[in-house]
Amino acid sequence: MRFGFRELIFLVVLLAVPVASWWYVFKPRNTEIAQARMEIEIKQVKLDKLREVAKRIDDIGLAIEQGREAVELIEAKLPNRDQVEDILANVWELAKRNHLNLKSVKSEKPVLATLYMEQPLRVSMTGRFDGFYQFLLEMENLSRITRVPRMKLERIMETGGLNDGELDTGLMRADFTLSIYFEQPADNEGLERPS
């Protein structure tokens, strides 16, 4: 067999067909396939996350229901404005039961918060420390929400303990702010926002 120019061109064309098909057909297809695989992996990750979330939907519903119950419980502990005086009566009854003497009670302006109101009262009382401690413990167990954000305790030294002429070291004076929380009224007149 003779190998001439014609055969050389045929051989070049024969070799050029697979190279051209790889360059123009297979290489772009391989790039598209690689991109498609990456997109499939990304979508598979999203589907896996969606399956996880779908499994937790029942848990989320239960958590929402528990949250609603907790909100209802807290709202039940928030009296309306008219019931604040009843809470005050309960607090003063606790003070009386623990042998504490109220020296002064000054009501400050109610403070407007997001969904509730706070009525701060500046209270000054004297008595035995043990009684004051018991008063605080009993106030903690009230069914309504209260707090004491500021408190100053001072020991009072008086004579006339068990034996005349002895110092009674169990007496104290308490100056504190008692905050009572209640439901926000419909009209917010005369109320100030917290700073």
Residue 50's alpha-carbon distances to 19, 59, 194, in angstroms, are 45, 15, 43
Same domain, 179 and 85: yes
User: Do 68 and 90 sit in the same domain of this protein?
Assistant: no
Is the per-residue pLDDT at 143 higher than 80? no
pLDDT of residue 65: 85
Q: In the listed set 62, 77, 92, which residue is the last one of a domain according to the structure?
A: 77
For residue 167, the model assigns a pLDDT of 60
Higher pLDDT, 192 or 70: 70
Q: How many residues are there in the chain?
A: 195
Matching residue, tokens 């055969």: 7
Q: What tokens appear for 1 in the block?
A: 């067999």
- Give the end-to-end CA distance of the chain in Å, rounded to a whole number: 104
What does the pLDDT look like over 54-107, one tens digit per residue? Answer: 877 777 778 888 888 887 777 666 666 666 677 778 788 888 888 888 887 777
- Residue 49 maps to a domain: yes
Question: Would the pLDDT of 41 be above 90?
Answer: yes
Do 112 and 70 reside in the same domain of the chain?
no
Predicted confidence band of residue 187 (pLDDT cuts 50, 70, 90): low
- Per DSSP, the residues of 112-153 read E-SSEEEEEEEEEEEEEHHHHHHHHHHHHT-SS-EEEEEEEE
Q: How far apart are CA 121 and CA 179, in angstroms?
A: 6
- In DSSP notation, 71-118 reads HHHHHHHS--GGGHHHHHHHHHHHHHHTT-EEEEEEEPPPEE-SSEEE
Provide the number of structural domains found in the chain: 2
Q: State the CATH number of the domain containing residue 134.
A: 3.30.70.60
Q: Which residue is listed with tokens 């996350």?
A: 49
**Domain containing residue 27:** 1-77
One domain, residues 112 and 179: yes
| Rounded Cα distance, 182 and 117, in Å | 5
Among 52, 77, 102, identify where a domain stops.
Answer: 77
Give me the pLDDT at residue 78, please. 67
Return the minimum-mean-pLDDT range out of 1-5, 78-82, 148-152: 78-82
